[in-house]
Structure 1
């Protein structure tokens, strides 16, 4: 494999542990411990993925992520202990591809790295006039772009990829929010409501996401 991964972490024990686990998984992992060093390194080395801690000396992870997104689409997995930042981390205006909360297991990080890389290489998904581009987090319906957050995109993509199948709120939360400390019981309902509103703004005659009373939600194309 030997894909190049950059770990940006100022805790030496943690960065060393992550590097060892990534090496064992077949990745070529490098470590930086200061936010000021990241952008020049990325420009020169062109990594396949960046594990970027939120709290860094020199320059914090949010600013580093914004600077990288000005010139690169490299997948960025943000690492944070500040759960209140999750919505910002996954906001399209910032451009992070995923997040992971401290404390975590190194095996979980390796699994998430592999998942993000698979997603970055995935082809577009098309169904019922929808085109979902995972590499860019862009969704269009009948040629018109839906202005989705990253969480909304993930939710729509998962349902669309499994048409007709009913998923409970807890199943969807497990898929969309691996760390459930960050969400409440009705978070999925809120995201579904926003998705429906954005779909209706583009195609008011179509209903794509359906509620199944007492069970959950499913994707199915039909006229409203």
Structure 2
């Protein structure tokens, strides 16, 4: 499964360069040329990352970032021709994950995108007939592939990287959802149920520790 990037930028020549670059890097690319179209494409296309210009027609990058952050924690990387600490601070304050100033080096931009998507991590876990590929966003059990949502990927990747450690619901909310999440910690239980269902006969790997939380443990006890 290719990672999908939504580019929201009104400069068509730059969009063409960015499209070619990210397609060569193996990404799926969706484009919007103004802020309103960008928000529409965000809801329609469910991208894994948004590359967002600040100076956009119809809705500014600030407005788009704020709108997306109301409903999603996906990575947002802001682009601007301005070179101002105030702009950088404002973008990060609104919830952007990173910032790059035009003109920029495509290699540096690509590295930033891969870092935000954690594509530089060792991402394949295997146990018996079970494997999890964080880059592709899938579980494979006996050669059958099951796709995961972004949140399921984040959660399972975090649990596997910290095998044997027991995490409380509150801790997992901070680590997987983020410190600004103000929902109920029962969302953790709901996510665990979804992931276990997809793990099928290997659901026992994701253990409930009564009164404490959850852990990823390869023992069958």
Query: Structure 1 residue 172 and structure 2 residue 176: aligned?
Result: no
What residue ranges of structure 1 are gaps of 5+ in the alignment?
A: 1-5, 10-31, 70-74, 91-97
* 1:30-81 per-position Cα deviation (integer Å, ceiling 9, x unaligned): xx446x777533333448799x999934732552797797xxxxx7246732
Query: CA offset at residue 221 of structure 1?
Result: 2.6
| Residue in structure 2 matched with residue 157 of structure 1 by the alignment | 157
- Counterpart pick for 1:81 among 52, 58, 66: 66
Whether the 8 Å contact between 1:173 and 1:188 is mirrored in structure 2 is: yes
- What TM-score do the two structures reach when normalised by structure 2? 0.58
For residues 45 and 188 of structure 2, what CA distance do their matches in structure 1 show? 31
Q: 1:40 maps to what in 2?
A: 16
Q: Which ranges of 4 or more aligned residues in structure 1 deviate by more than 4 Å? A: 6-9, 36-39, 47-50, 52-55, 64-69, 100-103, 105-108
Matched residue count: 177
In 2, Cα distance between the equivalents of 1:64 and 1:107?
Answer: 15
Shift in CA distance, 139/177, structure 1 to aligned 2, threshold 3 Å: same
For the Cα contact (< 8 Å) 2:138–2:146, is it kept in 1? yes
Q: Structure 2 stretches of 5 or more lacking a match?
A: 53-64, 78-89, 100-111
For residues 207 and 98 of structure 2, the distance between their equivalents in structure 1, rounded to whole angstroms, comes to: 33
1:117-136 aligned at under 5 Å gives the runs 118-120=118-120, 122-136=122-136
What is the Cα deviation at residue 99 of structure 1? 2.9
Kindly indicate whether residue 92 of structure 2 is the aligned counterpart of residue 104 of structure 1: yes
TM-score by length of 1: 0.58
Equivalent in the alignment of 1:56? 34
- SS of the equivalent of 1:164 reads coil
Distance apart, 1:167 and its partner CA: 0.9
The alignment yields a C-alpha RMSD, in angstroms, of: 4.4
